[in-house]
């Protein structure tokens, strides 16, 4: 069973194959209307369940569009419409859905929900986001970087701000794709030690730096994310903002990084907080390429899960 649960639990060669496939499929679609089908229809007659315990813009629309372009159909389910882990166990939900659909994508809170779903499903399960990781986003980010700067192996990525779930997946990607990673943020919000250890176990350099300007000098990519994630306690907002203010990505920080540095953000962005308008809309920003590339990267992931490469 080919589940896509996390980058560090998926074979590195398979991940590289998905990125290469996504690039080729995107190139073949150049100039086509969004609703036009792909020439190849690897998901023809397939049904994909898209489960959302957390609200979503990019994940929902990008998966839905990708399935349709590949000839499949989607069944979108929200936490309010299901009894996931409440009136019915996650294990039984997985067993039931496996009788209805060919593939399950779930965007949830606890990583344990994702794992239990995969353990009991008889169809592939894709991690659309958990509180701990966000692998589909990073696949789109790798695709985006390589479109603009070539192979990411040997490059240096700098993360500024909160060491959250997206940061954890970037660390996993560092190990799997062979790039160095610098975390610039407060000690209280450092990424999980396990994610750091994984990247280092693969021989890449992982650096912790408290000064943002020092961290970004010579970077190939600067990445930021919202200072308050959906699963964070809203009461901690002021404390988090005070901790993270020194790590705002602004024009001065990107100037310190250099003209070669790209800027990424998985969106939604809180403009004026973790990043300024001048950077978001500036020449080094590729945030909307990232958003588009969710479609292409996830199509490759779905094809890999179903053995339809």
> 292: which 2 tokens?
């588009």
Which is the catalytic residue, given 107, 172, 240, 265?
Answer: 107
Quickly list H helices, the chain.
12-28, 58-69, 90-100, 111-120, 135-149, 165-177, 193-201, 212-216, 237-244, 251-257, 277-280, 287-305
Question: What CA–CA distance (Å, rounded) separates 114 from 161?
Answer: 26
Using an 8 Å Cβ cutoff, are 258 and 217 in contact? yes
Active-site residue, 136 included: no
Active-site residue, 237 included: no
Active-site residue, 134 included: yes
| Residue whose pair of structure tokens reads 């990267």 in the numeric block | 297
Which is the catalytic residue, given 6, 294, 298, 305?
Answer: 294
Angle between helices 135-149 and 287-305 (to 10 degrees): 120
Which is the catalytic residue, given 136, 167, 266, 305?
Answer: 266
Question: What CA–CA distance (Å, rounded) separates 287 from 278?
Answer: 13
Active-site residue, 69 included: no
Which is the catalytic residue, given 137, 176, 248, 298?
Answer: 137
Which is the catalytic residue, given 225, 240, 265, 305?
Answer: 225
Which is the catalytic residue, given 3, 134, 172, 265?
Answer: 134
Using an 8 Å Cβ cutoff, are 208 and 180 in contact? no
Active-site residue, 137 included: yes
Give the three-state DSSP class for 218.
coil
Active-site residue, 107 included: yes
- Concatenating the DSSP letter of every residue in 25-87 gives HHHHTTT--TTSPPSS-TTTT-EEEEEESS--SHHHHHHHHHHHHTT-EEEEEEGGGS-BTTT
Residue positions annotated with a catalytic role: 107, 134, 137, 225, 266, 294
């Amino acid at each position: 069973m080919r589940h896509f649960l996390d980058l560090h639990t998926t074979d590195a060669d398979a991940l590289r194959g998905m990125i290469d496939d996504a690039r080729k499929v995107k190139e073949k679609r150049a100039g086509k209307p969004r609703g036009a089908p792909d020439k190849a229809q690897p998901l023809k007659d397939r049904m994909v369940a898209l489960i959302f315990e957390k609200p979503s813009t990019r994940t929902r629309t990008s998966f839905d569009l990708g399935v349709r372009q590949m000839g499949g159909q989607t069944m979108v389910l929200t936490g309010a419409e299901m009894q996931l882990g409440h009136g019915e166990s996650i294990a039984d939900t997985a067993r039931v859905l496996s009788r209805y659909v060919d593939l399950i994508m779930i965007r949830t809170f606890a990583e344990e929900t994702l794992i239990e779903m995969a353990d009991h499903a008889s169809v592939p399960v894709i991690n659309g986001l958990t509180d701990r990781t966000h692998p589909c986003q990073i696949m789109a980010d790798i695709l985006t970087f390589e479109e603009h700067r070539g192979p990411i192996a040997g490059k240096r990525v700098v993360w500024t701000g909160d060491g959250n779930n997206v940061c954890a997946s970037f660390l996993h990607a560092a190990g799997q794709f062979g790039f160095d990673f610098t975390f610039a943020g407060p000690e209280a919000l450092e990424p999980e030690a396990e994610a750091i250890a994984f990247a280092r176990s693969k021989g890449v350099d992982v650096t912790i730096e408290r000064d943002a300007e020092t961290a970004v000098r010579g970077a190939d990519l600067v990445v930021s994310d919202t200072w308050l994630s959906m699963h964070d306690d809203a009461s901690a907002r002021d404390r988090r903002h005070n901790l993270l203010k020194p790590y705002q990505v602004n024009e001065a920080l990107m100037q310190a990084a250099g003209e070669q540095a790209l800027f990424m953000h998985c969106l939604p962005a809180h403009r004026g907080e973790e990043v300024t308008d001048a950077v978001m809309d500036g020449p080094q920003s590729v945030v909307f390429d990232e958003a588009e590339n969710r479609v292409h990267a996830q199509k490759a992931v779905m094809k890999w899960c179903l053995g339809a490469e």
